[in-house]
Amino acid sequence: MKRAWTLGLAALTLAASAQMSGEKEKMGTDTMMGSYTFEVRVENVSTPGTLKTMAGAVAVPLAPGVWAVHEGANPLFTPGKAAGLGLERLAEDGDPAALAAELEMKPGVASAGVFAVPAGKDGPAPIFPGEAYTFTVTAAPGARLSLATMFVQSNDWFYAPGPEGIELFPMDHPLEGEVTMYFKLWDAGTEVNEPAGEGPNQAPRQMGKNYGADEGGVVHDVMGAELTGPVIKVTITPVK
C-alpha cells in the first residue's frame, strides 16, 4: 500500500506544485527595500526505529506541505478552533493543494507555495529518513514564516510552528540557523485517531482519501506520541 499511496500523492501534488510555482505576491516583497531571500530546508531526521508499533518499528515519512510568508498570526490554523478543509486534506491525506489555494484569499499573506519535490528527485513525493525538501521564500522585515507537513503515520497529525509563526527578522536581522524548536506535532482534530503507524485508515494503508471516521474536534497538541527520537529538522538560511 505504501507504493500505491506514494504514487497517488505524487499525482495530487503535481498540480499543486505547478499552481504555486510562481507563488503569490500580494505585497511586492521582492522589490521592497531590505527584502531577503531565504532557503528553507525541511529534513526527515527520523530512523527506521523512530516509531514503535505492535508489529515492530516503522519509518515515519513526511508529506509534501505548504508554506506562507505573512504578517501577524499563523494563517494555516488556530489552536483550539476547527481546522479548515485545506488543513484537513493536508493532515489526513498529505495533499497540500486545497490549503495552498485557501492561502490565496487570506489577509496578511504576502506569498505562499507548496514544497513537494524531495531534494535530488524529479517529482513530488514524501520524504523518508535522510531525505529533505528545500525551497526559497522572499520576505521583508516584519514578515513571518509558517509551514505545515503531514506526519504520515497518523490519521491527521502534522508538524507546524505555533500560532505566531517564525519571525524572519528578529532584532531587525535576517534569521539564520535551525528553527526546529518552533515546531510542534499537532492533531488537526478532523479524524478519529488510531495507533500511530498501525491504523488501517492512515495514509499508507487506507483504501483512499478521507477514509477515517470524522472526529469533529479542534486543532490541538498531540499527546503521547510513542517516538524514540526526532522526526523533523528545519533550517533557514538567508541567501541574499
Reported pTM: 0.88
Nearest C-alpha neighbor of 203 from the set 98, 53, 62 = 62
pLDDT, tens only, 98-150: 999 999 889 999 999 999 999 999 999 999 999 999 999 999 999 999 999 99
pLDDT, tens only, 28-76: 434 444 899 999 999 999 998 899 888 888 889 999 999 999 999 999 9
Q: Please report, in angstroms and rounded to a whole number, the separation of the first and last CA atoms in the chain.
A: 43
For residue 163, the model assigns a pLDDT of 94
Burial of 224 (0-12, 13-18, 19+ CB in 10 A): exposed
pLDDT, tens only, 212-232: 667 889 999 998 788 999 999
For residue 15, the model assigns a pLDDT of 43
Nearest C-alpha neighbor of 195 from the set 79, 65, 63, 55 = 55
Contact at 8 Å (CB) between 146 and 197? no
Q: Which three cell numbers stand for residue 75?
A: 494563517
Burial of 74 (0-12, 13-18, 19+ CB in 10 A): buried
For residue 39, the model assigns a pLDDT of 98
Contact at 8 Å (CB) between 112 and 69? yes
For residue 33, the model assigns a pLDDT of 47
For residue 85, the model assigns a pLDDT of 96
pLDDT of 155 over the 90 cut: yes
Quote the CA–CA distance of 67 and 16 in Å, as a whole number: 12
Amino acid at 97: A
pLDDT of 16 over the 50 cut: no
For residue 102, the model assigns a pLDDT of 96
| Strand pairing report for 157-161 and 144-150 | antiparallel
pLDDT, tens only, 180-215: 999 999 999 999 999 998 878 887 776 767 676 678
Contact at 8 Å (CB) between 162 and 184? yes
pLDDT of 21 over the 60 cut: no
Please enumerate, as own/partner, the contacts of 25-30 that have beta carbons within 8 Å and a separation of 24 or more. Answer: 25/110, 25/111, 26/109, 26/110, 26/111, 27/110, 27/111, 27/140, 29/69, 29/110, 29/111, 29/138, 29/139, 29/140, 29/143, 30/138
